[in-house]
Chain A
Amino acid sequence: MLSVNQLNIHIKNRKLLQDISFNINAGELFVIIGPNGAGKSTLLKALTEEINYSGEINFQQQSIKQWTTARLAKTRAKFSQHHQQDIPLPVNEVVMMGRYPYFANRPGITDLKVVSESLKLTEMSHFKDRSYNQLSGGEKQRVHLSRIFAQLNNEFQEKLMLLDEPLNNLDIYYQHKVLKAVKVFVKKGNMAAIVMHDLNLAAQFADRILLLKDGKMIKYGHPQEVLTSQTICHVYDFPCKVMSHPLAQTPMIVFGEEKSASIIQNIQP
């Protein structure tokens, strides 16, 4: 379990996050949503100690500050929003970095096997010998996702996967593919916290959702509780309607104004 208690972050008098408290239970896929500047990425940065915070973060009943870097490397992994564009290595070597916590100098048989499994997960196997630098944005992203999956492929329990906007450059097919893979990972008794913008995907995959705005918790709970038209329209400051997804039976959010089409027609002479 990951429990966050009274988390506060400020930089130069500007409050980035205020009094954030939530739990992620083992087996839960946790999604963080909110408009730009809400503090979503900052929250993930706090969970990986990339930023100074006050408050408590407990990971598996122990303050995260007491964990050693080496132990964390096998139980927690993070996908960052911005990637280094220049990594002059072949794809499988980049994914192999996810196995660095597990071997000293030469990768073992397990490491090689895990890398090839992880490449399959994002359908990057046929790119494995290609140079990372020659890939497109979405492909690079899939390489890093494979690296994250490779890093957490072990016998440990209650592992935590943190993904900061992992779907940005992916097409519909890979968005679902990746989220399904995360779901499978989580169902083995692990945890995942994902920052994303697509509310409908959040509704379909999340077990729990945290809605942030301007560094404050607006709502926290099951998708049905958080994704109501009143809350969403207010937080995103845009007209919307929530209905039931005809296929997935989850909440489905549709943004837009009813007469928007006629408005555009009126502008044209």
Chain B
Amino acid sequence: MSLGIVLLIVAFIASSLLGVYQLNWNDFLLLFKSIFDGTVAVNPTDAYIFFDVRMPRTLLAIIMGAGLAVTGTSLQGMFKNPLATPGIIGITAGSALFAAVAIVLGSTIKSFLPEILHYSLISIAAFIGALLVMMLVYSISFKSGKTHVVIMLLAGVAIAALAEATTGFLTFISKDDELRDLTFWRLGSLGAANWPKVIILFTINLICLSFLLGNGKALNAMMLGEDNARHLGINVKKYHAKIIWLSALVVGTSVAFAGTIAFVGLIVPYILRLLLGSDYRIILPLSALFGSLLLLTADIISRTTLAPIEIPIGIITAFMGAPVFILILLQFKKAL
């Protein structure tokens, strides 16, 4: 726990200093001081880079990483399977699909909508997409209290294929600026971070995580099966509904702000399980911390390795996640 916090602070400082425009440790201290003491003089370019570029991006990575990892862990608990994460069962894809449709059709629909919805159109579409896929996968893979793993995974494959085809089609027919947006969706990037996004995601994730992080006991009890969990006073249906809605909200908002960043929800719980066992009372809160750490690290890698070019962060997380996916499959083979 404390190790995670220390690592996160280190990554936080690294993230605010590293980049095309270099800041050093003294700049950091100076800028940090200036937050509390208005009289400290700082270089305006430094201040702009630090407060308006790096800071929102860093915070967005931290908040989003926590959200994605906790939803991943929660879904694994609900579906009783380490592969049941937003990416693999198609929730991210469905969310991106709806967001893509909203981008392309956005200009047409916008005139019919009240102004307040214009900015959040993509987010709302992404949330609806996430929720619909979640409910679809849930209803077809849950039968009389049992999860049908194969069906669950195949549903994910089908939805991802559909989303891929549709986004491909939309890319083909869309105008140039929309097209740029779409590529960003498909590979994921935190490059569009700004303070309003940080504040919105922070509010949403704070609410959702405050409800999700306390579910450790319930997720453990579900390992006994639905009826036995109920005999322990756990209202399984209520927890399932809670997980479905809140996860859709977290994933939808994240997709709306940063596109599809794959595998965060898969890698973090996997590593935590490996190190600490499967007690959700332990790994659920820790996955928030290590999710932040993972996404922030991935973002630093994405914008520093080939600077000034940014590698989409989805590619970085996919490079980390794919081996984990394969390892989980190998474990399955052993269990069969």
- A residues sitting closer than 8 Å to B (CB atoms) are 48, 50, 69-70, 72-74, 76-78, 80, 83-84, 86-90, 93, 97-98, 100-101, 105, 151
B220 adjacent to chain A (CB < 8 Å)? yes
Task: Please report the C-alpha to C-alpha distance between residue A84 and residue B224 in the assembled complex, in whole angstroms.
Answer: 6
The 9 closest A-B pairs by CB, nearest first: A73-B233, A88-B278, A101-B233, A87-B223, A70-B233, A100-B232, A78-B231, A50-B227, A100-B217
Residue contacts A-B, CB under 8 angstroms, 30 given: A48-B227, A48-B231, A50-B227, A69-B230, A70-B233, A72-B231, A74-B233, A80-B225, A83-B225, A84-B224, A84-B225, A84-B228, A87-B223, A87-B224, A88-B223, A88-B278, A89-B223, A93-B279, A97-B221, A100-B217, A100-B220, A100-B221, A100-B232, A100-B233, A100-B234, A101-B232, A101-B233, A105-B214, A105-B281, A151-B232
B216 touches A88 (CB 8 A): no
Given A100-B232, A100-B234: A89 and B277 within 8 A (CB)?
yes
Complex contacts, B281 vs chain A, CB 8 Å: 105
B288 shortest CB reach to chain A, Å: 15
Task: Please report the C-alpha to C-alpha distance between residue A50 and residue B279 in the assembled complex, in whole angstroms.
Answer: 27
Complex contacts, B230 vs chain A, CB 8 Å: 69
**B51-76 interface with A by 8 A CB criterion:** none
Chain B residue, CB-CB nearest to A73: B233
Chain A residue, CB-CB nearest to B82: A88
A80 touches B278 (CB 8 A): no
Task: Please report the C-alpha to C-alpha distance between residue A73 and residue B218 in the assembled complex, in whole angstroms.
Answer: 13
Task: Please report the C-alpha to C-alpha distance between residue A236 and residue B81 in the assembled complex, in whole angstroms.
Answer: 43
B145 shortest CB reach to chain A, Å: 10
Task: Please report the C-alpha to C-alpha distance between residue A210 and residue B70 in the assembled complex, in whole angstroms.
Answer: 49
Complex contacts, B217 vs chain A, CB 8 Å: 100, 105
Chain A residue, CB-CB nearest to B282: A93
Query: Interface size for chain B: under 10, 10 to 19, 20 to 34, or 35 or more residues?
Result: 20 to 34
> Chain A CB within 10 Å — which of B217, B228, B234 has the most?
B228
Chain A residue, CB-CB nearest to B280: A89
Given A80-B227, A87-B223, A88-B277: A97 and B232 within 8 A (CB)?
yes
Chain A residue, CB-CB nearest to B230: A69
A66 shortest CB reach to chain B, Å: 16
Task: Please report the C-alpha to C-alpha distance between residue A151 and residue B221 in the assembled complex, in whole angstroms.
Answer: 13
Task: Give which listed residue, A70, A73, A89, contacts B220 with CB less than 8 A.
Answer: A89
**B64-99 interface with A by 8 A CB criterion:** none
Further contacts, 19 of them, CB under 8 A, given A76-B231, A86-B335, A105-B281: A50-B227, A70-B233, A73-B233, A74-B233, A77-B231, A78-B231, A80-B227, A84-B224, A86-B223, A88-B278, A89-B220, A89-B279, A90-B277, A93-B220, A97-B224, A100-B221, A100-B233, A101-B232, A105-B217
Complex contacts, B221 vs chain A, CB 8 Å: 97, 100
Complex contacts, A70 vs chain B, CB 8 Å: 233
Chain B residue, CB-CB nearest to A98: B232
Task: Please report the C-alpha to C-alpha distance between residue A85 and residue B324 in the assembled complex, in whole angstroms.
Answer: 24
A132 shortest CB reach to chain B, Å: 9
B242 shortest CB reach to chain A, Å: 15
Chain A residue, CB-CB nearest to B228: A80
Complex contacts, A151 vs chain B, CB 8 Å: 232
B120 adjacent to chain A (CB < 8 Å)? no
Task: Please report the C-alpha to C-alpha distance between residue A83 and residue B227 in the assembled complex, in whole angstroms.
Answer: 11
B235 adjacent to chain A (CB < 8 Å)? yes
B185 shortest CB reach to chain A, Å: 36
Task: Please report the C-alpha to C-alpha distance between residue A69 and residue B218 in the assembled complex, in whole angstroms.
Answer: 14
A78 touches B228 (CB 8 A): yes
Complex contacts, A100 vs chain B, CB 8 Å: 217, 220-221, 232-234
A72 touches B233 (CB 8 A): yes
Task: Please report the C-alpha to C-alpha distance between residue A240 and residue B231 in the assembled complex, in whole angstroms.
Answer: 39
> Chain A CB within 10 Å — which of B220, B232, B235, B279 has the most?
B232
Chain A residue, CB-CB nearest to B222: A84
A76 shortest CB reach to chain B, Å: 7
Task: Please report the C-alpha to C-alpha distance between residue A70 and residue B227 in the assembled complex, in whole angstroms.
Answer: 14
Complex contacts, B231 vs chain A, CB 8 Å: 48, 72-73, 76-78
Task: Please report the C-alpha to C-alpha distance between residue A88 and residue B278 in the assembled complex, in whole angstroms.
Answer: 6
Residues 296-336 of chain B, each 1 if its beta carbon lies under 8 Å from chain A, else 0: 00000000000000000000000000000000000000010
Task: Please report the C-alpha to C-alpha distance between residue A225 and residue B33 in the assembled complex, in whole angstroms.
Answer: 88
Chain B residue, CB-CB nearest to A107: B281
Residues 210-254 of chain B, each 1 if its beta carbon lies under 8 Å from chain A, else 0: 000010110011011101101111110000000000000000000
Chain A residue, CB-CB nearest to B273: A88
Complex contacts, A50 vs chain B, CB 8 Å: 227
A105 touches B216 (CB 8 A): yes
B233 touches A97 (CB 8 A): no
**B11-33 interface with A by 8 A CB criterion:** none
Task: Please report the C-alpha to C-alpha distance between residue A229 and residue B43 in the assembled complex, in whole angstroms.
Answer: 100
Chain B residue, CB-CB nearest to A162: B231
Chain A residue, CB-CB nearest to B225: A84
B212 shortest CB reach to chain A, Å: 14
Chain A residue, CB-CB nearest to B214: A105
Task: Please report the C-alpha to C-alpha distance between residue A77 and residue B223 in the assembled complex, in whole angstroms.
Answer: 17
A97 touches B220 (CB 8 A): yes
